[in-house]
Amino acid sequence: MFHKEGFKIISVAIVLFIGINVASYVAIQSEEWQIAILVLTLAFLVLILQFFRNPKRQTTIDENTVVAPVDGKVVVIEEVHEKEHFKDKRLQVSIFMSPINVHVTRHPIKGKVVFSKYHPGKYLVAWHPKASEENERTTVVVKNDNIEVLYRQIAGALAKRIVNYATEGEQVVQGSDSGFIKFGSRVDVYLPIGTKVNITLNQKVRGGESVIATL
């Protein structure tokens, strides 16, 4: 199953794969070169397909938990001053996605979207300290009766497009699709101070399934 954001790129990749290999079969007499071209173009096609995969996730809906919004590795767990929405101290959990991770973004909690904003910006490497404030990014805040959570999609050096489906006023389901980041990046989650964190630095998490915090 593939994400809808990849349909156009996947179609182009398939056409190129077929076209290049048909051309090599017609124009090149060397079987070794034909095989080499086939292997290289197949590897490229597989890379595109795996990047846009959208596996089904079994989210256990629980108003007392916060699930990881994306797949990746936990690279930050620290108290920071959140400047854009809360304007106070929050517990930041950052998850870094490599190009081989699933890049679907999912809602970490159920509730109402009370804030959703896109910011154009730079393309610093995702782990750069200023990436969360200077890179292209989107900020989304979801609120329910128990908690208000902000999560921020941040573009990296390779990510050139962030897709955000969250719109202010809509009710969202925990673990549901909220967007996509193309070609590697990071997502920051901001939780209230005192929230019990269930993950550790360098731990790998799965979007929509791994519980990163408990109320």
- Which pLDDT band holds residue 202 (cuts at 50, 70, 90)? very high
Structure tokens at 33: 């070169």
**Who has greater pLDDT, 41 or 182?**
41
Question: Given 94, 116, 185, 210, which residue is catalytic?
Answer: 185
Query: Is the model's pLDDT at 213 over the cut of 70?
Result: yes
**Who has greater pLDDT, 126 or 101?**
101
3-state secondary structure the chain: CECHHHHHHHHHHHHHHHHHHHHHHHHCCCHHHHHHHHHHHHHHHHHHHHHCECCCCCCCCCCCEEECCCCEEEEEEEEEEECCCCCEEEEEEEEEECCCCCCEEECCCCEEEEEEEEECCECCCCCCCCHHHHECEEEEEEECCCCEEEEEEEECCCCCCEEECCCCCCEECCCCEEEEECCCEEEEEEECCCCEECCCCCCEECCCCCEEEEC
| 185 catalytic per annotation | yes
Query: Is the model's pLDDT at 199 over the cut of 60?
Result: yes
What pLDDT does residue 135 have? 79
Q: Exposed, middle or buried, 166 (CB in 10 Å: 0-12/13-18/19+)?
A: buried
Sign of CA dihedral 136, 10, 43, 51: positive
Instruction: Write out pLDDT tens, residues 65-90.
Output: 999 999 999 999 999 999 999 999 99
- Which pLDDT band holds residue 109 (cuts at 50, 70, 90)? very high
Query: Rounded to an integer, what is the distance from CA 178 to the centroid of its chain?
Result: 10
Tell me the mean pLDDT in the region 137-143: 96
* Highest mean pLDDT, choosing among 49-63, 161-175, 176-190: 161-175
HSE-up of residue 142 (Cα within 13 Å, Cβ side)? 24
Q: Which of 5-9, 150-154, 202-206 has the lowest mean pLDDT?
A: 5-9
* Amino acid identity at 49: L
Structure tokens at 160: 């050139």
The pTM is what? Answer: 0.84
With b meaning 16 or more CB within 10 Å and e meaning fewer, what string describes 195-205? beeebeeebeb
